[in-house]
Amino acid sequence: MDFSQGFKVLPGTRVKLKDIDPAFTDGYKDHEAADEEIVQLQKTLRELQTLLYAQRQHSLLICLQAVDTGGKDGTISHVLGAMNPQGCRVAAFRQPSVEELAHDFLWRAHRAAPGRGEVVIFNRTYYEDLLIVRVHNLVPKEIWARRYDLINAFESGLVDHDTYILKFYLHISKDEQLKRFAERLDDPSKQWKISEADYKERPLWDGYVSAYEDVLSRCSTELAPWFIIPANHKWFRNLAVARIVVEHLEKLDMKYPKPTVDIEHIRHEYHAAKKA
């Protein structure tokens, strides 16, 4: 069985996050046991991304969602940062701009979606319009409740255009979040990330859990699956995400395209120039 199957939300199943251990490490004892594998996965990931960029037949959209301090930035830096930025970019979905609010909620996501040969990482995603608006009661239920189907249709359309979609929910415990907030307070290099909103969201934890459970249950499809990644241990989060991305890129069975020039002629010209 593929490693990824142990973390995939099977379509039609009902997710209960309390039943999933955020400290799970799949038998790995510590980061030292995983470090060598992570390094090799990073190398393989870069090679596969180069193939994707050269072949230009497919694209890859990686969606990262988590509660505050869940590890989205760390995942991008330590895992996905191994890819060549020439064919990879990150799109962050912050509070919508005036221009974005003038369009439908998926407009900015479609604009940021990858083209063929490209990898795009969404740091937070269009799912925010199913999470924040619900928890904070920003729009009526009859509006946000329709968005599950709209998102599924949007993702289906991307897949029809040869975009592969992998969605990761980085699962941490409430106690782990509080611990990471404390680390930010004590680390000058992380203090810039602190906002009062982080702590104001803490009482809404149960509301976010319920909203995430609905998203994970209703929007994990065969075309665009969700993976729940135990993320209390950052090193295991990195290993799991890297391994799942590598597994799915390898299934594409990509090959470098054939050259568009006469290689032997170019080789002859090279040797002639070398002798001159």
pLDDT by residue, tens only, the chain of 276 residues? 689 999 999 999 999 999 999 999 999 999 998 999 999 999 999 999 999 999 999 999 999 999 999 999 999 998 888 898 889 999 998 888 899 999 999 999 999 999 999 999 999 999 999 999 999 999 999 999 999 999 999 999 999 999 999 999 999 999 999 999 888 888 887 777 777 777 788 899 999 999 999 999 999 999 999 999 999 999 999 999 999 999 999 999 999 998 888 788 788 887 888 886
CB contact at 8 A, 159 and 169: no
CATH architecture of the domain 3-275 equals 3-Layer(aba) Sandwich (3.40)
H or E segment to which residue 63 belongs: strand 59-65
Give the predicted TM-score (pTM) of the model: 0.93
pLDDT of residue 223: 94
pLDDT one-digit tens code per residue, 130-176: 999 999 999 999 999 999 999 999 999 999 999 999 999 999 999 99
Q: Give 127's DSSP letter.
A: T
Rg of the Cα atoms in the chain: 21
Count CB atoms within 10 A of the CB of residue 164: 21
92: nearest Cα among 116, 120, 70, 118: 120
pLDDT of residue 269: 81
Show me where the domains of the chain are located.
3-275
Please give the share of the chain, as a percent, with pLDDT higher than 90.
Answer: 77
pLDDT of residue 1: 65
Please list the alpha-helical segments (H only) found in the chain. 31-55, 72-78, 98-101, 107-112, 128-135, 141-144, 147-160, 174-186, 196-200, 205-218, 234-250, 263-275
Beta-bridged to residue 64, according to DSSP, are 123, 168
Paired tokens of 251: 């299934």
